[in-house]
Structures are given as structure tokens and as C-alpha cells.
Structure 1
Amino acid sequence: MSEQAAVTVPSDDEAPDGKVVDYISGIQVPAKPEELLAVQPFARQLVEDYGYPKGHIRTRPQWHVKARPSDRAKTYPVDIAVFSGDQHRDEDLFLVVECKKPDRRDGRDQLEDYLRLSRAYLGVWTNGDERLFLRKREANGKVTFDEIPNIPRYGQRVEDIGLFKREDLRPTHNLKAVFRSIRNYLAANAVGMTRDEPLAQQIMNLIFCKIYDERFTRRDAVVTFRAGVDEPVADVAARVKESFAHVVKQYSDVFDDTDKIELDDRSIAYVVGELQQYCLIECERDVVGDAFETFIGPSLKGGQGQFFTPRNVTHLVRALVRPKIQDMVLDPACGSGGFLVEALRGLWDLVDDRADELQWPDSERESEKQKVAIRQLRGIDKDEFLSKVAKAYMALLGDGRGGIFCENSLVPMRDWGLKARQEVSVGEFDVIMTNPPFGQKLKVTERTTLAQYDLGSKWRKAKGGVGYEKTDKVADSQTPQILFIERCLDLLKDGGRMGIVRRSRCCAIRRTATSCSTY
């Protein structure tokens, strides 16, 4: 066993300022950007996702390769070197990882140099935001390089990449890094598609193909969502597109017949290669949620006040309103579903507490969590894309997507679709958590909408000059955030609690039969 493998790795908490503890060796190293964003995360993935023993991996001291074949000394330091055993010999080196070059082209050039000057035949370049996988071929005195979908897991051959059975798939704890790589690759390389919203829609389509494949493939059968090393990208794309037709039927409340996978074949194959070895439905829910937010967040900065509410804000609002295990929860401006997911996490924590206390079996625990998601969470958003994102988010975490509706919360509720009217009623909800759109430039001017609200009317000073009284005249306009407050209070039960974000502040309100108060 190598000396490196025998080291007990301390935690980063034990490293002084400006240092980070190397995951493989346990040595404290300078906390440079490439170290924090690329070297350490990928070293961890090699062990946790690909299964390589730490003793087979060299980070510190760094492995070196020659600058030129004629050199006697090795002068090029390799960020990560992976060997077929724990002796760390030249003849056992088969994989090198380059992290120092931030640009994809420069990174590939450097990686190819390392492969030419060493025995390694596989290479990875990553800057923490993108990844590239290469295989070296030597024939007739020439060295060539092919891009491949991924690298093999420990014990696999290169030829085994993409030949996963359903039972071979494993969850990961670092899905966020994988999703970030996918998003950045597509933003830079997807043909005919550069805006964030279409890219977000496409990645959602592919994620659901992956989930469908995991749920409807026998454990001993080879998965459909796969990309082999020498498989033409057109074949990968055709197989995925065929699978998506089944997805549209299975998740008809999330997708419709107009939804298509419109990425070019190479981009589809790249996404499949990145995700194919993982089992998304067995990942921890927060892992999937964090990854989903990493990808979807940049697409949600619109001109109508939509944006992605930060996790710390949703968590604070949940702490203020404290949802109880039987509470009905609503977000009438749910956007991408951040508050609903936060509420769901809180309710599931309460289910776990009860399950632990009563010693429920795992099947009963999960069944109760699904019931909570389906019966107690409701969300409304007028933006079709955002409501679809919210449905997708809920479906990825478990369920509850059937409680999301694409409607305008401010219009008369009689104008909503039948299903929304059946599921969302005045005075029905124990908890409202929301971050409605705000801004002086956003105005509601439709008289039918304004006429519903006390705050949509004109007001005048009361007789005697004390206070104000409502007139019977409809105001010319009103900002939506003002109307949302009144609509939310109408939807709350007596004794209900509302956590609402108003500009940069969070406010908690309790409704009673005669008044409302902050708390």
C-alpha cells in the first residue's frame, strides 16, 4: 500500500486560512481557485462516484511527466494521476486529469500533451464548470485523440462505458457539479440555442427521459439513456428522442405534444454521457434540488418580476410561519416552486419525526411523504414556463406536481380553469409562503380585476380628517404586490400564517376573523 493511501485525511476545518486539505493525501495545499473548484471536487468524484480507491490516485505530492520524450527529468506536474494499482509506477498510469487551464481549448491542448508524454490512455480536463473526456489511440506511429462520453468506473473497461444495467446505476452526492458542467457546455456549444430559458427546457426534457428510464427499466436490463464510446451521436439522440415520446405520455401534466427535444445530436450525447451512470431517483432529494436550481436559476430572470428566490430566504420564511404536519400550504406566485419545495422539506421533516417515534417501516414513511406532497401543497403562477418548471421540480423530488396550476392569481377566481377552482378556494389555507412580483413599472389596469379588491378602489380622507374611507370608484391602476397581499389574506383561514417577501424584506402575518397582525 502506498504511503499516500495510508494517510488519515483531516477536515477542511483543520486547515489554516488560505489552505485546503487535499481530499486524497490529507496534505494542506494553497486554496487556489482551480483547487477549490476543480481538483478537489473531481478527486472526490473519482472515489465516491467512480469507485477508485484513494490508494490508486495521486494528487500530492504531484505526479510529473516529461516535457519532451528526450528529457531525463520529469518536469510537468499532473493535477490528478490515476493508476491501475497502488504502486504509482509509470507503466501503471492510465488516467490523467488537467485542472489548471481554465479554457476548454487550452485545457485540451495541455491534456493531449500529458497523454503523449506518458503511458496514460485516458484524460480528463475540468475547470469546475465544464468537463472533457479523451481517449488516446496509437496506431501506425501516430497518436490521435477521441472525445468519449465519460471515463470507466473502477473495474470497467473503456468499452463498457454506456453499457449500464439498471442495477448498475448509483446515486451521487455531487450532482450539482455535473449539472453545472452540462449547463455550461450547452450554453457554449449547443447549435441554434443560446438563451437560458430554452436550454433549461431542454435539460428538463432530458432529465425526465433519465427518470423515466430508471423507473421503467428492469433491474437486469440495459438502460436506454446511455451513450457508448464508439456509438454514433445520431444513434444516441434517436434513442433518447424515442424515449421522450413515452415521457410526454407518462407526464402529461408536465409536458404536452408540442414539447420536443431540439438540441443537436452531439449536445444530447454529451448530456447523456454525463448523467448515464447515476441513479437520480435514488439521490438524496436535496442533492437533486440543489442541482436543479444550479441549472434552472439563470433562466428565471425575466422582465415581469420573476426571479429565483434564494434558498436562505425560503428557509427563513419557513422558519417564520412554521408549517404543521396537517397544514394546507399555498404559494399564489410560485414561480419555479422554491417556496413549495421548502415547505415540502419542512413537512417531510415532521413526517420523519413521527415515523421515527412510531417506528414506521420505510415503505410507510415514503407513502406518507407522498400523500403530504399530493394533498397539502398548491401553487399558482401565470407564466407557463415557470409553472412547468415548478411541476418538474416537484416531480423530481417525489410528487405534488398535480397541485401546480398555470393561472393568474389576481384575476377573478371564476376565470380560472376547473381544476384550479376545485383545488384553491378562499379561506382554505393554513400557510401561505410567497414572493410576489413587485415594481413600480408593473401595473394592473384591468377594471374587472381591480374591482374585486378593496385596495383596487379609490380611497379618500374620511369625514373629520381622521383616516381614509373607500369610495365606489375603481382605481386607474394598482401594483400587483399590493393586490397580492389582499388576495393572500382572502385565501388564508382564520388563524392562518403568511410569510411574504416584500422587496428585500420578509414579513410574517397572522390572520384572525377581524384583523391581521405581524408576528
Structure 2
Amino acid sequence: MIEENEIKEGYIKDYVSGVLVKATPEELEAVQVFSEVLHKDYGYPLSHIQTRPQWRVKVRPSDKKKEYPVDIAIFSSENHIEENTHIIIECKKKNRKDGRSQLEDYLRFSMARIGVWYNGNERLFLFKTEKAGKVYFDEIPNIPRFGERIEDIGKFKRKDLRPATNLKSVFKTIRNYLAANAVGITRDEVFAQQLINLIFCKIYDERFTKPNDTVSFRVGINENLKVAQTRITDLFEKVKSQYDDVIEVADSITFDAKTLAYVVGELQLFSIKESSRDAVGDAFEVFIGPSLKGGQGQFFTPRNVVKMIVDMIDPGIDAKIIDPACGSGGFLAEGLRHVWSKVQSTGDNYGWPEHEIESEKQKVAIKNFRGIDKDYFLSKVAKAYMAILGDGRGGVYCENSLDNFKNWHSKTKEGVQLGTFDIVMTNPPFGKKLAIDSEDILKNYELGHKWNVNSSNAEFEKGDILDKQPPQLLFIERCFDLLKPGGTLGIVLLESIFGMPKYKYVVDYIFKNSIIKAMVTMPEELFQPHTHAKCCVLICKKKEETHTDSDYPIFMADVKWCGHDSRGNPTLRISSDGKEQLLDDIPTVANEFLKGFQK
């Protein structure tokens, strides 16, 4: 056992052996990550895995010293001997071609027939066969789980699927493979759309395959790739019928057979539907990212901030909720999970049957959740997000929230009425180059006009229509338009709004129309490396006509750590027991707020 006082700075405790190893990028991003995946996702007992001391393999038949050290070795039993070598894993920072070459060298004179190369970004699975004295290496879609044969890969019954330990790392490896290998596709948005299509195939297959039946979303060892491709495209035709409001009739799976087999092979082991982190959200985060959409000010809100806002507002089961700048649907999805947990608790307390609880969850999603985004692709992703979670996709609209209500499409006007929502949660677009200059829009907003201070009474007076106005400021007013009196707003805003004299009229507008409940300032790193804008979170309640009190407590918090640095890398430190800890203060804010400021 390692004592706390033996932990050295710059070292971590190895996941398998428990010994101290240097905290190199290779260890942190590949060896330790894949060790945990082998144990939790593939089910290999730690007693069957060796990392330290490193297992060694021969360079040549006459090599008695076994000169090649292997990062991870898996054995067929607890007895770690040459004859029991099952799988070897190499985790060097090489490109795919060099990684394969080195893995083949390691496998050539080893008793292991299966090899994995993984560098934290990409991974490759190889199967070794020997014929007529020659050694051959074939790429395979995955490795067998503990207790399975190589022939069992891809022959999964639906009941055997399990949530992924690290779903985001799976998508990351898929993204890097596609970027290097997909034929005829170069744009991230196309990658994302294709992956969303495949996720819907996966979800459909999980929903409509009986527990003891073999899933259709699979690819097996030595299976004809064209046969597998046909099976997936046939599945997609069923998806288009089931989700016709999300997937267009003209949509198709455009990956070539080899690429499709790779993606299916990476995903087939897992249950996307039961995974703790929403698959579309992870895929979108990896495949699109804030930088691609940053030109339109669509910096997608980090999930820890989304959860903090949802937890601080603490929506009830009957709350009607909207995000008028919903992007890919982060606030809607997190809000839905929060409300569903309350539905589940209520059902459990009253002894409702599980099907009745699920019915109630679906009813809540359909009846109470709304989202709007003017970007067609993002609104489509939000629909996909909500559909995969359960439902509520019908409540997402492609519309300009800032446009005159009369100009909205009839379906939007049916689903979204001003002054009817209990909660608005949003992160409206911001950016130096963004501005609304349409007089037809500006004239409808108090904050679309100039405001001058009356020298006699120091009150702001409304003036002429502005030439232009940042959309984030107009969204403040639109959020109040959507709320019913007493409704709650949770919004991400630029901190400069509350500090610069030129925005005093905006602060005055907020104070006159609401009761401020909380102000949480965020570190500058929150949206970096995509923008250096420093933001804050405002929680407030829309005033009711009878409210006159202007003296009330406001919860204030200043967050120092947000979970990543200015380059987007996790802010990690090693604890006294050798484990990684993420420096992130955001998850603690809601609890502090709810202790005394939630009323």
C-alpha cells in the first residue's frame, strides 16, 4: 500500500497496480484511461491485467531479454505467463500508421493474438493469424469482452449492452479517425450530422430490439462490410419513419463501408440510451465545438454552468420552461433530467408502476419544454437531443426569437406564447462583431432605444431607436417578455454589462423589472480558448405588479476555477492519495445558494 506521505508531486497511482508512476501525458491520457475502460467496459478483472511492472515481449525469436516493454497486457487467467498472453495494448503518441507498425512488431513474436494501439486520440484493433509460416494482421472492429471469444465480437444481445465509462473519449477517437480516413467528407458539420444519424440508428435499435435478440447495429469479425453497411442503412430507413420531424426523408448514411464499420464497431458495445451523459451532446461537443460556430456568438455553455443554473432555479414538475437561444439543447436536456428525477421520486413515493412513471416523464417533456434557435442545424440537433432523451422534440423550433412575435411561423406561435413561462434559462449569443441593426426588430424593444438620464430627477428617459444593439441585450428583454409575473430567469451575460457606465440603463431595466436573486461571476477562462469575454450568471424573478420592496438580499459568488484553463485543458491536480482532482468550483455554487437564498 502507498502511504499518503509517499505521494510525490508529478506522480499518480497506477489504476491497475496501485504503484506510483510519472504523470506523463501518455499515462494520463492513454494508459490510465484505457486501463479503466478495460476493467469497467470490457469487464476484465484487474488480476488479469498487468501494467506495472511492464510485461515484455520479444523483438526477435532469439530475444531472451524480451526487449519490448508493453504498456498494458491482458492475460487469460491470473497467472501472468507467456502462454496466457491474450491482448497487448501499446499507448505511444504516434500516428496511426506508425502505431500500427509498432503494434505489429510487438504482436509478431508474442503469444497474444489481439493487439490495441491507443494514444488518447485514436485507437486501432488488430487480430493476428498465421498461415503457412507467415503472420498476417487484420483490423477488427473491437476486442472481445471478458469471457468472450474473438468470434463473439458484434454478436451482442440487447440485454448485454452497458453504458460507456467514458463516452466522450469514444467519440473523440471516432472524430480523429474520420478526420484522417473518411472518404469524401471534410467538414465537421457533416461529420456531426452523419454521427447523429448513426446515433439515432443505435437508439432505435436499442428501443425496438427485444432483450434476448441480437442487435442490428453491429459489425462482426470477418463480416462482409457491404452486408453490414446494408444492415445499417436498412435500419436508418426505419429511423426516418420513426423520427420524421428530426431526420429528413432525403438524409442518408454517406460513410463508405469501411468507415461505417469502424464507427459501428466503436459504438456497438455500449448502450447509448442508458449512458449517463447524453450521446448527442457529447458528439456535438467533439465534432462541432465552440470554435466552429464562434463567429455567430454561439459559444456553447459548459455543462457544469448549465447544471449550476438548473440546480439553482430548481424547476418543479409542472414548470413550463423555455430557452429562446437553445443552440444544441443543453439547458433543455439538463432541465429535463432535473425535472424527470422529481417525477421518478414522486412515482417511487406513491408506488406508481414504472410504465406510468415513464408516461408521466414523456408528458412533462412534451407539455412543458420549449426551445428556439435561428440556426437550422442547431435547432435540428436540439430536436435530436430531446428525442434521444425521451421526447419533447416537438417543442423545439427554428425561429428568430428576437423577431416580432407576429412574424413567427404558426407552429411556433402555437407552442410559444409570450408571458406564459415559469422559467427561462439561456445563454444568448454574444460577440464584438454581432449586432442587430434591423429597425423592424429594434423598435419593438425598450432596450432597442437610446436611454438618457433626466438631469432633474436622475431617471432614465426613453429616446430614439438605436442604429444597432448587441443581441444579448435584446435577449434580456425578450426573456422577460416570455416569463409570466413571478417567473424565474437564469441567464449568462457579459460581466461588462454590470460594470461599464454605458450599460447603466440596462442594469436599471433589470432592476425595475425583476428581483435579483443571485449574481455569480465566472473566471475569464470559462469560454476560452474561443473568446476572452468574462461572463457572469444572473438569476432573477420577474416582478409582479404588487411587488414594491427594493431592499432584499442578493446571493453573490465569485468562481475562481471552472474546470479548464485558458487553452481548454482540464485543470487537474494530484491529491495526497495520488488521484486526479479537477479544480472546479462551479458544482458547489448551487448548494450554497439553496441553503438560504432560494426563497
Deviation at 1:297, TM superposition (A): 4.9
User: Do structure 1's residue 509 and structure 2's residue 540 form an aligned pair?
Assistant: yes
| Paired amino acid for 2:92 | K
**Whole-angstrom distance in 2 between the partners of 1:298 and 1:216:** 32
What residue is the counterpart of 2:468 in the other structure?
477
Deviation at 1:96, TM superposition (A): 0.6
User: Do structure 1's residue 276 and structure 2's residue 268 form an aligned pair?
Assistant: yes
Deviation at 1:360, TM superposition (A): 4.3
User: Do structure 1's residue 122 and structure 2's residue 114 form an aligned pair?
Assistant: yes
| Paired amino acid for 2:477 | E
What residue is the counterpart of 1:420 in the other structure?
412
User: Do structure 1's residue 175 and structure 2's residue 206 form an aligned pair?
Assistant: no
**Whole-angstrom distance in 2 between the partners of 1:84 and 1:482:** 63
Determine which of 180, 184, 209 is the counterpart of 1:217: 209
**Whole-angstrom distance in 2 between the partners of 1:161 and 1:352:** 36
**Whole-angstrom distance in 1 between the partners of 2:289 and 2:48:** 38
User: Do structure 1's residue 194 and structure 2's residue 215 form an aligned pair?
Assistant: no
Determine which of 362, 365, 380 is the counterpart of 1:370: 362
Q: Is the 8 A contact 2:196 2:280 kept in 1?
A: no
Q: Which moved more, 1:293-302 or 1:494-503?
A: 293-302
**Whole-angstrom distance in 2 between the partners of 1:47 and 1:463:** 71
**Whole-angstrom distance in 2 between the partners of 1:51 and 1:366:** 30
How many residues in Structure 1 have an aligned counterpart in Structure 2?
A: 509
Q: Per-residue displacement from partner, 1:84-143 (whole Å, max 9, x unpaired)?
A: 222122112121100124322222121111101211111000012211000112112211
**Whole-angstrom distance in 1 between the partners of 2:94 and 2:361:** 43
SS in 2 for 1:439: coil
Deviation at 1:14, TM superposition (A): 9.7
Q: Is the 8 A contact 2:201 2:236 kept in 1?
A: yes
What residue is the counterpart of 1:41 in the other structure?
33
What residue is the counterpart of 1:155 in the other structure?
147
Q: Per-residue displacement from partner, 1:410-461 (whole Å, max 9, x unpaired)?
A: 1111222222111111111111111111234222222222222222235556
SS in 1 for 2:67: strand
What residue is the counterpart of 2:490 in the other structure?
499
Q: Per-residue displacement from partner, 1:161-189 (whole Å, max 9, x unpaired)?
A: 22223233233222222111111211222
User: Do structure 1's residue 436 and structure 2's residue 428 form an aligned pair?
Assistant: yes
**Whole-angstrom distance in 2 between the partners of 1:11 and 1:507:** 45
CA RMSD of aligned residues (A): 2.6
Q: Which moved more, 1:452-461 or 1:412-421?
A: 452-461
Determine which of 379, 382, 392 is the counterpart of 1:387: 379
Q: 1:307 to 1:13 in 2, by over 3 A?
A: farther
| Paired amino acid for 1:374 | I
Determine which of 59, 76, 79 is the counterpart of 1:87: 79
Q: Counterparts in 2 of 1:220-231, with a 5 A limit?
A: 220-231=212-223
Q: 1:271 to 1:314 in 2, by over 3 A?
A: same
Q: Counterparts in 2 of 1:447-466, with a 5 A limit?
A: 447-459=439-451, 462=454, 464=456, 466=458
| Paired amino acid for 2:400 | N
SS in 2 for 1:432: strand
| Paired amino acid for 1:133 | F
Deviation at 1:463, TM superposition (A): 7.9
Deviation at 1:396, TM superposition (A): 2.3
Q: Counterparts in 2 of 1:283-362, with a 5 A limit?
A: 283-284=275-276, 286=277, 288=279, 291-292=282-283, 294-298=285-289, 301-362=293-354
Deviation at 1:494, TM superposition (A): 0.6
SS in 2 for 1:281: coil
Q: Tell me the TM-score normalised to structure 2 length.
A: 0.79
Deviation at 1:344, TM superposition (A): 1.9
Q: Which moved more, 1:330-339 or 1:87-96?
A: 87-96
Q: Percent identity?
A: 54
| Paired amino acid for 2:94 | P
What residue is the counterpart of 2:70 in the other structure?
78
| Paired amino acid for 2:223 | E
Q: 1:14 to 1:148 in 2, by over 3 A?
A: farther
Q: Which moved more, 1:194-203 or 1:157-166?
A: 157-166
What residue is the counterpart of 1:105 in the other structure?
97
Q: Is the 8 A contact 1:288 1:397 kept in 2?
A: no
| Paired amino acid for 2:485 | D
| Paired amino acid for 1:438 | F
**Whole-angstrom distance in 1 between the partners of 2:442 and 2:168:** 43
**Whole-angstrom distance in 2 between the partners of 1:402 and 1:264:** 32
Q: Which moved more, 1:372-381 or 1:505-514?
A: 505-514
Deviation at 1:298, TM superposition (A): 1.7
SS in 2 for 1:303: helix
SS in 1 for 2:244: coil
| Paired amino acid for 1:195 | R
SS in 2 for 1:123: strand
Segments of 5+ residues of structure 1 without an aligned counterpart are: 1-8
Q: Is the 8 A contact 1:12 1:20 kept in 2?
A: no
Deviation at 1:468, TM superposition (A): 3.7
**Whole-angstrom distance in 1 between the partners of 2:379 and 2:333:** 13
| Paired amino acid for 2:409 | G
**Whole-angstrom distance in 2 between the partners of 1:203 and 1:305:** 24
Q: Which moved more, 1:314-323 or 1:482-491?
A: 314-323
Q: Is the 8 A contact 2:371 2:396 kept in 1?
A: yes
| Paired amino acid for 1:24 | V
Q: 1:13 to 1:320 in 2, by over 3 A?
A: farther
| Paired amino acid for 2:537 | C
Q: Counterparts in 2 of 1:228-247, with a 5 A limit?
A: 228-247=220-239
SS in 2 for 1:372: helix
| Paired amino acid for 2:472 | Q
Q: Which moved more, 1:460-469 or 1:402-411?
A: 460-469
Considering Cα pairs closer than 8 Å and 6+ residues apart, tell me whether 1 or 2 has the greater RCO. 2
Segments of 5+ residues of structure 2 without an aligned counterpart are: 495-534, 556-599
| Paired amino acid for 1:483 | L
| Paired amino acid for 1:505 | C
Q: Per-residue displacement from partner, 1:271-300 (whole Å, max 9, x unpaired)?
A: 00111122222333x364763454345265
What residue is the counterpart of 2:401 in the other structure?
409
Q: 1:85 to 1:233 in 2, by over 3 A?
A: same
Q: Is the 8 A contact 1:179 1:294 kept in 2?
A: no
